[in-house]
Structure 1
Amino acid sequence: MSAPVPPTLEEGDDVLIVSPALAIPRAELDAKATRAGGPGGQHVNTSSTRIELRWNVRTSRAPSDAQRERLLERLASRLDADGNIRVVASEHRSQRQNRDAAEGRLANLVRAALVVPKVRRATKPSRAAKAKRLDEKKKHSDKKRERRRGVDD
C-alpha cells in the first residue's frame, strides 16, 4: 500500500500561503481591530477598520525547525520579547480589505526572510583578462605621457 498523498494547500483552506514550503494556519494569527485615521471622513471616528495582525514565530507549528531558526534570526529586529511579529494595515476603509492587506504584508515579510542567499564563490580573473587590463593601462599611460611631452613655448 502506498503512502497517502498530502492534499495541496490553497488559500481557501483556512491557511495563509506564504510559499510552497510554508502555510500559516489562520487560527495562529491574532487579529485586532482598532480605530484608524485616514480616509473615511467622519465615519473613520466610529469604525474600527485598522487591523493589527500578530503571529508568534516561536510557538507556531507551521514552520519547520530550520525555517523557525531562519525566521528568528532574520526577523529578530521585528519580533517582540514573546516572539510575535506584528503587522498593521489601515490604508483601506474596510476592515476586510485591511485584514487582507495585513496578511499579504505578513506573507511577504516571512517569504523574504526565508530566502537563502546564494553562496558567493570567489573567482579569479583569467590570465588573458589580466593581460588585457595591463595593456589598456599601458596605452592610457602612454597617451597621457605623449600629451605632457610636446609642450614647448
Structure 2
Amino acid sequence: MAGPDDASGDLPVIGSLVVPAGALGWRFSRSSGPGGQGVNTADSRVELFVTPLELPGLSEHQRQRLAARLGDRLVDGVLTVAASEHRQQLRNRQAARERLAAVLRAALAPPPPARRRTKPTKGSQERRIEAKKQRGRLKRQRRSWD
C-alpha cells in the first residue's frame, strides 16, 4: 500500500477527491543547473500531468470550477506540473505530487466571501486629520522668515 511519502499511488487532494494513480502521467528529463557529474546522465526533472476535468468523483459544480480556475494552465485539457529543485528524482516526484495536489486544492476551494464595504471609524478619521494638521504645522515652522 502507498504511504503518504510515497511517490506513486493515489494522490489525495481533498476529502472527497482522490486522484487515482492511473490518471497520473509522468515524464522525466534532465534537470538544468548545477549538479556535478551526474547531472548529464540522471533524468531528475519530473513532469506530472493529469486531465483534471475527467477525474472520477467530481461533481458537475467542481468540474465547472476547475475549468474556470485552471483554464489558463490547461493545454488540450491537460494540467502539467514540473519539479526540478532536488537532485534526486524521487524527491522531485514527491514535490511534483505535492504541487499538483496544492494546485487542485486551490482550484476547488470555494471563493472567499464578498468584502463588506465599511466606513472609517470616527476615531480613525480624527487621527488622520490630526496627523495632517501636525504635518502642516511642521512645514509651516520650516518656512524661512524673509
**Normalized against structure 1, the TM-score is what?**
0.68
Looking at structure 1, the residues matched to 83 and 106 of structure 2 have their Cα atoms a distance apart, in angstroms, of: 19
Q: State the shift of 1:63 in Å.
A: 3.2
**Percent pairwise identity:** 37
Runs of at least 5 residues in structure 1 that lack an aligned partner in the other structure: 1-9
Equivalent residue number for residue 97 of structure 1? 91
1:41 has 2:37 as partner: yes
Moved over 6 A (4+): none
Larger of the two Rg values belongs to structure: 1
1:26 corresponds to which residue? 21
- The equivalent position to 1:108 in structure 2, one of 92, 102, 108, is 102
Shift of 1:29: 0.9
Count of equivalent residues? 138
Alignment of 1:63 with 2:69, yes or no, is: no
Alpha carbons 1:75, 1:113 under 8 Å: kept: yes
1:74 equivalent to 2:69? Answer yes
Deviations 1:30-78 (A, max 9, x none): 223x341454735843x55443221101211243333322222222221
| SS in structure 1 at match of 2:72 | helix
> For residues 101-146 of structure 1, what are the alpha-carbon distances to aligned partners after superposition, in whole Å with 9 as ceiling and x for unaligned?
2211211222233343342221111233223322332333234334
Structure with the bigger RCO (C-alpha within 8 Å, sep 6+) is 2
Structure 2 residue runs of 5 or longer lacking an equivalent are none
